Structure formats: C-alpha cells, structure tokens
Amino acid sequence: MKSLTEGSEGKIIFKFALPMVIGNLMQQLYILVDSIIVGQFIGDTALAAVGASFPVFYTLIAFFIGIGSGATIVISHFFGAQQYKKVKEAIGTIYIFMFGAGLILTAIGIIFSREIFTLLNVGEDVMPEAITYFTIYMTGMVGFFGFHSTSSVLRGLGDSKTPLLFLAIATVANLLLDLLFIVVLNMGIEGAAWATVISQMGAFIVAIFHLNSKDHLIHFSVKSLIFNSDLFKKSAKIGLPTGFQQSFVALGMMAIIRIINEFDTEVLTAYTAASKIDALASMPAMTLASALSAFVGQNMGAGLTHRVKKGLLATLKMAWTISLSVMIIVIFFGSELMALFSSNEDVIDYGKQYLIIICSFYVVFSSMFIMHGTLRGAGDTMIPMFITLISLWLIRIPFAWILSRHFGEAGIWWSIPAGWIVGLAGTWLYYISGKWKNKKVTDSEILPQTTNNAS
C-alpha cells in the first residue's frame, strides 16, 4: 500500500500512474491485436459483430461499475484517514455487491441478446455472429467483476503495480488463446469470446491466490466477506451519480451505433476498428484521470486540499504532452493503422476520416477527463454526471443524428468533439467555483482552510 499524501505532487502521480498506463496500454494493445485477428482471420462481418456487441456489454455493466467506483473512492478516503478497519469492511462489501451483479447480468445478457440487437437495428448479415459472441462473453461476468473489483480496490489503496501483474497475466493469456482458438482451431467468433472469458476468470483466480499468500488488507475468502450496509450506502451515495452517468453514456453509445447501422456494414466495421485505435490513443488521459482520483481521494481524506490543485496542473501537463504526440502519429499514419484490420478500401477511408477528426481534439478530451477525475476523487460525482449527460444527450447524439443526414458518416464523427467541448466548459466552470471542496466522505475528515483559491 502507498500513501499519496507526501512528496512532489507531479512525481507521485506520475509514478503511481505509470504502472496503470503500462497495464492499460497492454490491455488496449491486446484489444487492438484481438480485433486485427478477428478482422483478418474471420472477416469484416465478425469485426462488425464485435463492434455491435461492445456498447451492449458496456450498457449492462456501466451502472454497477459506477457503484463500484464509489466504493473505491470511499476506500481511498478511509485509507488516507488511516481507518483500516473501515477499509476492510468496504472491500468485503464491494466484492459481495459485484459478484451478485455479475450473476444477474449473465442471465439478462443471455436471455435478451436477440431483442437487444434487434433494437439496435443490427443488419441480418451481422446479427448471428453478434448474438453468438455476446452470449458467450456474458457467461464471464463473475470473473470480469472479480478481476475489475480487485484492481480497483488496490488502486484505491495506492497500489498500482499489483493490478499490472494481474492485467499482464490476463492480456498474455487472452492473446495466446485467441491465436489457439481462432487461428489454429478455427473456432471463429466463438473462439474470440471464449478467449476473453477464460483469461479474465483465470487472472481473477491468480489474483486471489496471490493476495491470500501475503499480509495484505485484501484477504479473499467467502467466509471473511461481510456486507456493511452503512458503508454500501456511503459508497452508493458517491457512486450512484457515476453509475447513472456511465449507464447513460453506454445508452448513448448504443444510440450512436443505431445511427451508424443506418449506413452500410463497412461504416460499422470502420467505426469498430477506428474506435479501437482511438481507445488506445485516449487511454493515457483516462488512466491519468484515474490515478488523479486516487491522489485527490487520499489527500482530501488526510485534510490536504491544497495539494489537489498542484496535482491537477501536473496531470494536465502530462496529458497534454501525450495527447499532442498521439495526435501527430494518428494523423500521419491513419491509413496504415486501418489497413491492419481490413483490406477493404471503404473501411480504411471511413476509419481514417474518423481518426483525423477525433484525434484533432484529444487535448480537449484529456482536459475534460482529468477535470472529472479531480471532482470524483473529491467525492463530488453529481456534477460530472449532469455535465456528461448534457454533453452526450443534448449535444453529441442530436448532432450525430442531424449532421449524418447532411454530411453522411462524417457528421457522426464531428458530433464527438462537439460533446467534448461542451463537457470541458461545464466542468471547468464548476471546478473554479470551488464547491467540490465541501464534500465529506470519512467521519473524521476535516477540510483545511489553508487556501482561499477557488481553483
């Protein structure tokens, strides 16, 4: 476990974030390679099926992941306040909640998969493979939530290196199983799904054995898990806004997919491939935001509010440097990157168009995400929820629908940075108001009066 309350803010956040960046980079590279394998060895239709499945999967898990993020913030605050008994109780509570959620979502996903894809207007050529992939994928929800919860809790405790170990195991296993199931055994889209399910469950099992072999705040056993209703209410109070936010974001993704499905399958295939590249490119900013949340949580819990602004500025500088570098790479090599997924010229052109438009606004995106990370770390999750909903449902989705009527698929791509700009403006205005400093998570938390600066 590591305290984030002492030392140079920028150096602490960088060192804490580095293993997370490496781990997420590894995971995104796997997802990229996985999509390349699917596109090259199974075909464009299979790649489109994976693309249609992701927003559905994300919609189902988003609310529960949001609640879990509230528990992570509570854990970081209690850890910063050195209330270790509460830390252990909060850990047990989030595990019980997540396992229950995993079982429920498995049943929902399997039973209603066809109805969901019909609602999304998925083409008949894509539908069978989308249902097959999604149904198998949903059988792994318990492993997914167990793996995700363990990594999130460890980060809340200031440990970003151990989750990297678990993620490395999952990534390597996933890639090897992909090659075995798809390339060697020719299992098609089923192989891609089973590779993910098996690797995530395997990584979670390894994580349990690893943590139980050490003197650790997390000691996993079914008998030792205790559900503390008071701590769950506290976690839910913080996490519910994020849960609703993530759910509405996920529903927004489904709405975007439905608009995309009004075009040819090549557009959906291009969006699927380009969004994988986009996810890899935007990952550092999202990871830095997550690291900053843990930093803010511990420092707020320790009553060191004055360190938050310094941490925010240092993180923004790191994110801007990375975003500008990635933007240059993507703009110059967009066609080559798209060609890794498909040899179809239309798919390559649509994807390159998406990448050039989106990556030109990465600085805006990274700034918005970093600001949201600050507010969530402070326990202020309601305002980011409203800002996200406004930028998505009042800006991005209406823009996507209207602009696609006049400018084709390019109109959908332009709606994305439009939402980011509105989201950043709203978040910045709320941050400089200073109201986020008034949040209180732990019983003993005392907000310092060392600074009157609103920002």
Give the count of alpha carbons within 13 A of 226, CB side only. 10
Q: Which residue has the higher pLDDT, 416 or 223?
A: 416
DSSP letter for each residue of 236-300:
HHHHHHHHHHHHHHHHHHHHHHHHHTTS-HHHHHHHHHHHHHHHHHHHHHHHHHHHHHHHHHHHH
Please report the pLDDT score of residue 215 as a whole number: 56
Whether the pLDDT of residue 362 is over 60: the answer is: yes
Residue with the larger pLDDT of the pair 301 and 264: 264
Amino acid at 37: I
Please give the pLDDT value at position 455.
Answer: 31
Burial class of residue 219 (count of CB atoms within 10 Å of its CB; 0-12, 13-18, 19+) = middle
Measured in whole angstroms, the distance separating CA 30 from the mean position of its chain's CA atoms is 15
Least confident of 197-206, 344-353, 436-445: 436-445
In Å, how far from its chain's centre is CA 126? 26
How many angstroms separate the Cα of 62 from the Cα of each of 69, 241, 243, 409?
Answer: 10, 11, 6, 27
User: For residue 372, which of 363, 359, 383 has the smallest C-alpha distance?
Assistant: 383
**Angle between helices 44-80 and 265-301 in degrees, nearest 10:** 10
Rounded mean pLDDT, 55-70: 79
pLDDT of residue 214: 65
Helices (H) and strands (E) in the chain, counts: 16, 0
Mean pLDDT: which of 116-120, 126-130, 163-167, 450-454 is highest?
A: 126-130
Evaluate if pTM is beyond 0.75: no
Give the confidence band of 10 by pLDDT, cuts at 50, 70, 90.
confident
Q: Which two tokens stand for residue 406?
A: 């006049």
Report pLDDT digits (tens) over 103-124: 888 898 889 888 988 888 888 8
Average pLDDT over residues 392-398: 93
Over residues 165-185, mean pLDDT: 88
Query: Residue 442 — very low, low, confident or very high, per pLDDT cuts 50/70/90?
Result: low
